[in-house]
Amino acid sequence: MDTVLPPRPAFRLIVTGGGTGGHTYPALTAIRTLRDRLAADGRQLDVLWIGTPGGLEARVAPAEGIAFTTVATGKIRRSSNPLMMVSPANVKDMARVPLGVAQARKVVADFQPDVVLATGGYVAVPAGLAARLCRRPLVLHEQTVRLGLANRKLASSATRIAVSSESSLPLLPDSVRAAGVVTGNPIRPEVLSGHAGKAVEALGLYDFDRRLPTVYVTGGAQGAQQVNGVVRDALTWLLERANVIHQCGPDNVGGLREYAAVLPEALRGRYYLTGFVGAELPDVLALADVVVSRSGAGTLAELTALGKPAVFIPLATSAGNEQAHNARHLEEAGATVALLGEVTGDRLKDTVGPLLTDPARRAAMAERARAHGRPDAADRLVNVILSAASG
């Protein structure tokens, strides 16, 4: 008679972090990867996400079938002037943090996770502190070159600190550097499986001149006025040298469409304007020879994993100026070009021009970008989570 082994206990994970896609999507990718890894070993994954009611994670987690709860949080409004940090709004929000920690402590104590994974955003602070109070392993994941504010607050409580770049390790405080491990920033696996021909069919790009390189311009899901403006100012020049797919944000299509309507007829067919790129994004990236974009951590992770030459226009108001640090880090490695300071159409021409006319330069930049890419980042992060759980 065969012995029936009892089912192995489920792995219990609390995820905390969010507010933006940069904190939310790496966590979601890690959850999916961990779930698949455990399933292959005959185990289940029980996940609880601690987030904010107004953050992206409040929509993403339930849509994925992940249990979701919220705790009180306090958002710190940064300023280069220390006196401005002591604003009434900051004082009020900081007073909410102890309440959030108390609420999170109850959640952690009740759920008894094997690991708490914190991916940043101010909601991560109460849950991360609660993990320490409940003596549960805490794994931090940092998407940018330097630790964000939330992860800096939690670093001394962490069992492991997963960073996205080798260059981040020396930036960790001496007291926690031994906990640092390089995983990369998890990206959606479908991004790596695009086909250029599918983009042509899906978007109807039959008037593109395939003898010319293709430039993909994006300012993120909502578009970016700065990126749209400099591309508009250089558009005729660009279309004389390349095909352009321009994802401008849903609210910006009308004005740019009017501008495109007066382009020389010979150039109009090389310009594809859209408010949003959805499921076809992997195919668009496969088609693109050069990408012009912001330099958020998720974008960097995807473009380096793909080995795409890029011109980055960092968002000047990003938290801690992280986008400029991200772009500068890759530029120093020759893996991208960063447009810092005042960005004009002429500066864009000077930067993009050599990439459009010199395939060898594009290839060299692509190779350097690929050297910084970590397409296996989700698996690496899952290894860290399982290692933290086993002590």
In a domain, 1, yes or no: no
Q: Which pLDDT does position 52 carry in this prediction?
A: 92
Q: Is 313 found in the same domain as 295?
A: yes
Same domain, yes or no: 84 and 16: yes
For residue 226, the model assigns a pLDDT of 92
CATH number at residue 237: 3.40.50.2000
Structure tokens given for 2: 């065969």
Q: Provide the token pair at 117.
A: 């994974």
Q: Is the pLDDT of residue 84 over 60?
A: no
- Matching residue, tokens 């310009």: 271
Q: Based on the fold, state whether residues 162 and 116 are members of the same structural domain.
A: yes
17 closest CA partner among 65, 68, 62, 63 = 68
Q: Which residue has the tokens 């990236």?
A: 285
Which structure tokens are listed for 171? Answer: 């930036």
Residues 286 and 361 occupy one common structural domain: yes
Tell me what pLDDT residue 6 has. 66
Total structural domains within the chain: 2
355 and 386 fall within a common domain: no
**Is 94 contained in some domain?**
yes
Q: How far apart are CA 46 and CA 14, in angstroms?
A: 8
pTM for the predicted model, two decimal places? 0.87
Indicate whether 291 belongs to any domain.
Answer: yes
2 assigned to some structural domain:
no
| b/e burial code for range 232-246 (CB count within 10 A of at least 16 → b) | bebbeebbebbbbbb
> Is residue 6 assigned to a domain?
no
Largest CA distance in the chain: 81
One domain for residues 104 and 199: no
Closest CA to 247 of 205, 214, 271, 216: 216
Give the DSSP H/E element, type plus range, for residue 121: none
Residue 3 in domain? no
Whole-angstrom distance, CA of residue 364 vs CA of residue 362: 6
Domain assignment present for residue 4? The answer is: no
Same domain, 211 and 356: yes
- What are the angstrom distances between the C-alpha of 281 and each of 135, 155, 250, 332? 42, 35, 16, 28
Q: What is the pLDDT of residues 182-232, one digit of tens each?
A: 999 999 999 999 999 999 999 999 999 999 999 999 987 777 889 999 999
Its sign, for the CA torsion 43, 56, 221, 309, is negative
Paired residues of 306 in beta bridges: none
pLDDT score recorded for residue 85: 47
Q: Is 152 exposed, middle or buried (0-12, 13-18, 19+ CB in 10 A)?
A: middle
Which is nearest to 60 in space by CA: 109, 121, 8? 121
Each residue's pLDDT tens digit, 114-170:
999 999 999 999 999 999 999 999 999 999 888 888 999 999 999 999 999 998 999
pLDDT at 101: 95
pLDDT of 29-74, one tens digit each? Answer: 999 999 999 999 999 999 999 999 999 999 999 999 999 999 998 7
Residues 108 and 160 occupy one common structural domain: yes
CB neighbours (10 Å) of residue 185?
30
Which of 324, 295, 323, 320 has the alpha carbon at shortest distance from 76? 320
A 10 A CB-CB count for 194 gives 19
Higher pLDDT, 156 or 89: 156
When the pLDDT of each residue in the chain is averaged and rounded to a whole number, the result is 91
**5 falls within a domain:** no
User: Distance (Å, rounded) from C-alpha 160 to C-alpha 371?
Assistant: 24
> Averaged over 5-29, what is the pLDDT?
89
Write the pLDDT tens digit of every residue in 233-290: 999 999 999 999 999 999 889 989 998 999 999 899 999 999 999 999 999 999 999 9
Tell me: do 284 and 257 sit in the same domain: yes
Domain, as residue range, for 259: 189-372
Residues 6+ apart with CB under 8 A from 208: 200, 214, 243, 269, 270, 272
Percent of the chain at pLDDT exceeding 70: 92
At 77 the pLDDT is 47
Q: Check whether residue 267 and residue 300 sit in a common domain.
A: yes
CA distances from 243 to 18, 216, 229, 306, 316 (A): 36, 9, 18, 20, 28
222 and 156, same domain (yes or no): no
Q: Do 182 and 204 have their domain in common?
A: no
Look up residue 202 and give its two tokens: 């899906």
Residue written as token pair 């594809």 = 272
| Chain Cα centroid distance, residue 69 | 23
- Rg of the chain over Cα atoms, rounded to whole angstroms, equals 22
